[in-house]
Amino acid sequence: MLTFLEIDLEKLEYNYHSLRNRLSPNTKMIGVIKANAYGAISGPISEKLIELGTEALAVAYTEEGIKLRKLGITAPVLVFYPQEERFTDIIRHELEPVIFSKRSLKKFKTAVEEEKKSAYPIHIKYNTGLNRIGFHPDEGDWVLHQLRTSCFKVKSVYTHLGQSEAPKPDKPTENQISLFKQIMMKHERVAGQKTDYHLLNTSGLFNYPEYHLDWVRVGIGLYGFANHPKWNETLQPIAQLKTKITQIHQINSGETVGYNCGWKATKNTRVAVLPIGHADGFLRQYGHGNSWVMINGQKAYVVGNVCMDMIMVDIRDIPCCEKSEVVVIGAGARADELAKNAGTISYELLSALGNRITRVLKTK
């Protein structure tokens, strides 16, 4: 096992309690585990979150939810982006779809009727400014009229903020919240059943405690990141990406390394080859000194182009040898720091990690 992602469930537990302690007393938590728990391992993480007391889970697509059901997860599972082709599968696996358009509502109602179900749990999403998916607020009357049916039980109504991490006051976020308040009032006034409301993700949990409402949707925070240095101090990254040095080369001043002579040594040095590349999700933007790895507690910068299966790092006089352990992401090489240095975000770096990388649970 050359390259592996080591997941520490004790750190997941630490993050869970750290986040839970910030919630308003009556606010429940939706643990977001889409994209294999942000590139980690969804099964054990889901089981641990439920054991800790997470009231519901959420995935992006139907197949992710079915996978959880096959693993024996019986907790409520929201499907954020359900495709109408999978509506029957959603019902048969007792998943809870997010309904976000007139078409999706009509199609899902048909599927519920065909499966001879009633009071099926759904979640209604409104677009208050992100302009991704969701009912337009002006469609609220139509939505409420359509919900006067025995087919559905509306478990929650929600929206998604576009920049909840932005320093307050933030006008676009305030506008979204104001619009959602109007939507809430309309649903409270017209709907004939108790409905929960939510609008916050991890950043919003920290930045807008006055709007925790009935639920919060927590994703990246569970995995140790929160989009702000101060918030990060309260969390611990749960995963470390590790590998071992494949080969070490002595490079003389003036020699080049990698495709297209991507890096030229300005002095005599040593370069280590590591068995990870862009086919594993360590993308090309991390080359040319835009990222580093940790070897024996010291930084070694990636030089030249990232190859499909390998990267090269300048190890200078760092004490190491072939087969020495390397931390690619982890202590000293945080995912958010590497991502920022390469012009992207930790979400992309973590969720892009490919299936050639073995996932292992850290043992005590």
The per-residue pLDDT for range 209-243, each reduced to its tens digit, is 999 999 999 999 999 999 999 999 999 999 999 99
Nearest CA to 59 out of 35, 86, 90, 83 is that of 35
Sign of CA dihedral 106, 108, 113, 114: positive
- Read off the pLDDT of residues 60-111 as tens digits, 9 standing for 90 and up: 999 999 999 999 999 999 999 999 999 999 999 999 999 999 999 999 999 9
Q: Is the pLDDT of residue 364 over 90?
A: no
Task: Give the start-to-end residue ranges of the domains of the chain.
Answer: 9-225, 239-361
Contact 83, 108 (CB under 8 A): no
Helix, strand or coil for residue 184?
helix
- Read off the pLDDT of residues 73-84 as tens digits, 9 standing for 90 and up: 999 999 999 999
Residues whose CB falls within 8 Å of the CB of residue 352, separated by 6 or more in sequence, listed in order: 39, 281, 283
Superfamily of domain 9-225: Alanine racemase (3.20.20.10)
* Per-residue pLDDT band at 289 (split at 50, 70, 90): very high
Q: Please provide residue 294's backbone torsions phi and psi, each rounded to the nearest 5 degrees.
A: -115, 125
Nearest CA to 294 out of 268, 327, 257 is that of 327
* Per-residue pLDDT band at 143 (split at 50, 70, 90): very high
If you average pLDDT over every residue of the chain, what do you get? 97
Q: Is the pLDDT of residue 347 over 90?
A: yes
Eight-state DSSP code of residue 293: E
Bridge partners (DSSP) of residue 364 are: none
Share of the chain above pLDDT 70, in %: 100
Distance in angstroms (rounded) separating the CA atoms of residues 352 and 306: 15
Let me know if the fold of 9-225 is the same as that of 239-361: no
> Mean of the pLDDT values across residues 143-161?
96
Helix, strand or coil for residue 274?
strand
CATH 2.40.128.50 fits 239-361, yes or no: no
Q: Is the pLDDT of residue 190 over 90?
A: no
